[in-house]
């Protein structure tokens, strides 16, 4: 019986790289990365929202419209928790944060990226190259570029929808929602493909497929969370506030878990010939 099980396991390993998958999941430390990610997000929540509001102002978008889109994309409990904070930050003098304090905001937000970067590197069993501070700064600059790119996609997409409606009379239902989903997909591709060190990166094809899995799981998480939060955290007054914080922390924990599981699957897919790195990716990795 034992020999038979070993043969079955050996067959599965040859066909599906099961040993590698188990190794990657072991390195991921899922029970630790979720709480750590949630801790740093909560710690940098106000700086994060300040940057969010500053980006909205720079793009000349209305805060009310952006809040409405967030309410459509996030579970109701999470949206109810974040919306008052966003509105409060939006109505303060955010211009003062464009001074020296912006450096503190950038540094605080880099902590969140550092958690994912460190976890991704450990999954691929690769060490950080160079000074960690410089790596985090470079990653954050790329993050700013990607956020601006995603915002531009949403803005251009909405303008295009208005032009199509003006020229043809065709009304595109909820264009912002779909543009946010597409923008989120592009952003997650960057997170999975560019955030880790070169040696830890999956192939680009594996990153695309794995990010689709990430996006599907995130949408499923939101749907399940709406049902879960409505049943478990239906309270009023101070209990509602405490429940909202608890829901937000659990949601962040699961969000980080999904991102890490997605990266594990991408790294595993890279083991297969169809998803293996091409010559250009191997050349970049060796530089």
Query: Tens digits of per-residue pLDDT, 209-222?
Result: 999 999 999 989 88
**Residue 148 pLDDT > 60, yes or no?**
yes
Query: Helix axis angle, 30-43 relative to 101-123, nearest 10°?
Result: 170
| Token digits of residue 208 | 């695309």
**Do 218 and 177 contact (CB within 8 A), yes or no?**
no
**Residue 16 within any structural domain of the chain:** no
Question: Tokens 């955010």 — which residue?
Answer: 94
**Do 223 and 254 contact (CB within 8 A), yes or no?**
no
**Residue 13 within any structural domain of the chain:** no
**Residue 70 within any structural domain of the chain:** yes
pLDDT digits (tens, 9 = 90+) for 245-285: 777 888 889 999 999 999 999 999 999 888 888 766 666 66
Determine the average pLDDT of the residues in 124-134.
Answer: 81
**Residue 12 within any structural domain of the chain:** no
Q: Give 103-116 as a 3 state SS string.
A: HHHHHHHHHHHHHH
DSSP-derived letter for residue 131 is -
**Residue 93 pLDDT > 50, yes or no?**
yes
* Distant-in-sequence, close-in-space partners of 274: CB < 8 Å, separation ≥ 6: 205
For residue 123, name the pLDDT band (cuts at 50, 70, 90).
Answer: very high
For residues 256 and 36, give the distance between their C-alpha atoms in angstroms, rounded to a whole number: 9
Nearest to 155 by CA among 182, 190, 188: 182
> In the chain, what's the furthest Cα-to-Cα distance?
71
CA-CA-CA-CA dihedral for 29, 34, 37, 42, to nearest 10: -160
pTM: 0.81
**Residue 224 within any structural domain of the chain:** yes
**Residue 108 within any structural domain of the chain:** yes
Question: Please, what is the average pLDDT of the chain?
Answer: 77
**Residue 55 within any structural domain of the chain:** yes
**Do 106 and 140 contact (CB within 8 A), yes or no?**
yes
Nearest to 92 by CA among 46, 41, 58, 60: 46
DSSP-derived letter for residue 270 is T
Residue 222 phi/psi, 5° resolution?
-65, -40
For residues 171 and 174, give the distance between their C-alpha atoms in angstroms, rounded to a whole number: 9
Write out the residue range of the structural domain in which residue 261 sits: 21-286
Selected residue with higher pLDDT from 27 and 232: 27
Q: How many domains does the chain have?
A: 1
Q: Which helix (H) or strand (E) holds 206?
A: helix 204-232
**Residue 168 within any structural domain of the chain:** yes
């Amino acid at each position: 019986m034992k020999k038979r099980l070993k043969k079955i396991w050996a067959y599965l390993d040859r066909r599906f790289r099961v040993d590698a998958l188990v190794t990657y999941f072991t390195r991921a430390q899922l029970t630790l990365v979720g709480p750590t990610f949630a801790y740093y997000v909560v710690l940098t929540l106000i700086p994060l929202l300040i940057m969010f509001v500053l980006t909205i102002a720079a793009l000349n978008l209305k805060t009310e419209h952006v809040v409405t889109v967030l309410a459509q994309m996030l579970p109701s409990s999470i949206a109810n928790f974040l919306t008052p904070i966003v509105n409060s930050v939006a109505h303060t003098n955010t211009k003062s944060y464009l001074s020296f304090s912006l450096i503190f905001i950038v540094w605080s937000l880099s902590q969140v990226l550092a958690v994912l970067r460190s976890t991704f590197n450990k999954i691929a069993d690769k060490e950080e190259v160079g000074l960690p501070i410089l790596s985090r700064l470079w990653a954050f600059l790329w993050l700013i570029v990607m956020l601006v790119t995603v915002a531009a996609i949403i803005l251009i997409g909405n303008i295009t929808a208005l032009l199509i409606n003006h020229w043809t009379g065709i009304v595109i239902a909820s264009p912002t929602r779909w543009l946010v989903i597409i923008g989120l997909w592009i952003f997650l591709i960057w997170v999975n493909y560019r955030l880790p060190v070169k040696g830890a990166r999956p192939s680009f094809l594996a990153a695309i497929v794995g990010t689709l899995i990430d996006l599907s799981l995130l949408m499923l998480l939101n749907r399940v969370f709406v049902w879960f939060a409505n049943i478990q955290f239906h309270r009023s007054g101070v209990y509602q506030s405490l429940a909202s914080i608890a829901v937000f922390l659990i949601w962040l924990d699961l969000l980080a878990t999904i991102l890490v599981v997605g990266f594990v699957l991408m790294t595993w897919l890279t083991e297969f010939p169809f998803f293996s790195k091409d010559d250009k990716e191997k050349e970049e990795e060796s530089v």
